[in-house]
Amino acid sequence: MRINYKQALVAASAAVLTLVACGKDDEKPNIPAVAVSITDLAADTAAASGAGAKAPRYFTLDSQLLSKADTGKWDISFTGTYNGDVAAQNGKIALVDSAFDALTTVPHDTAFKYTKVGINGFGGAVGWYNYNMTSHVLTAQPNRTLVFKNRAGRYVKLQMVSLYKGNPEAPTRATPAPYLTFKYYVQVNGGKNLTTLK
């Protein structure tokens, strides 16, 4: 039997390329983009009620654990009034005027300019919540989404919902706080697509 070595070499090369391509697909599976919802996560509730700053809390997105200690293994921190100021460990934050599900892609690099995001409109600050100087109540700005990178360098979009227990429509200064309610999505494939299932 006569063997055509040129054809055999081409066939073998094609097989190798096919295996490599399959390997790449296996490394980046098509995982459903489902957001994680966190409800009534107790922060510094031991502090006196009011507008004073609370002790920092550190949150890890993967484990969904909130810690009092800065172990260095966290993604975002909650500080300031009612633990309402959000900061990311891995760089600056972009604050986008968009509903959570409507935000489908990472904004331009120039949007990442905030070291922390909290109060809105006070001293010209741009943030995710409004603070009522009379009632001392914090309310979330509608349709504002934070974008940042987690410790692993993957993009995250996050929306703060409430700092009050039970997320009441009309909280008062007597409503238990801070109890953090928020939702987030971590871009699993390392890209800039932030589309989430509604």
Q: Which amino acid is at 7?
A: Q
Tens digits of residue pLDDT in 164-173: 999 999 999 9
pLDDT in tens, 150-166: 999 999 999 999 999 99
What is this structure's pTM? Answer: 0.82
Please tell me the total count of domains within the chain. 1
Report yes or no on 118 lying in a domain: yes
Domain extent for 109: 32-186
DSSP E strand boundaries for the chain: 36-42, 53-60, 65-67, 76-81, 85-88, 90-96, 112-114, 129-131, 138-140, 145-149, 155-162, 179-186
Give 83-107 as a 3 state SS string. CCEEEECEEEEEEECCCCCCCCECC
DSSP state of 45: T
Across the range 50-74, mean pLDDT stands at 90
Residue 160 CB contacts under 8 Å (≥ 6 apart), including other chains? 84, 86, 128, 129, 140, 144, 146, 180, 181, 182
In a domain, 23, yes or no: no
On whether residue 130 sits in a domain, the answer given is yes
Q: pLDDT > 70: what percent of the chain?
A: 81
Kind plus residue range of the DSSP H or E element containing 26: helix 5-27
What secondary structure letter does DSSP report for 43? Answer: -
Q: Is 15 among the domain residues?
A: no
Q: What is the pLDDT of residue 125?
A: 86
In a domain, 119, yes or no: yes
pLDDT at 53 over 80: no
Confidence band, pLDDT 50/70/90 cuts, at residue 49: low
| Domain assignment of residue 110, yes or no | yes
The more confident residue out of 65 and 4 is: 65
Residue 14, judged by CB atoms within 10 A of its CB (0-12, 13-18, 19+), counts as: exposed
Q: Is a pLDDT exceeding 90 seen at residue 66?
A: yes
Report the pLDDT value the prediction gives residue 105, as an integer from 0 to 100. 98
More confident call, 51 vs 195:
195
Residue 36 belongs to a domain: yes
| Residue pLDDT, tens place only, 107-124 | 999 999 999 999 998 777
> Residue 115 pairs with which residues in a beta bridge?
none
Residue 27 has pLDDT above 80, yes or no: no
Answer yes or no: is 159 within a domain: yes
Report the percent of the chain where pLDDT is more than 90.
Answer: 71
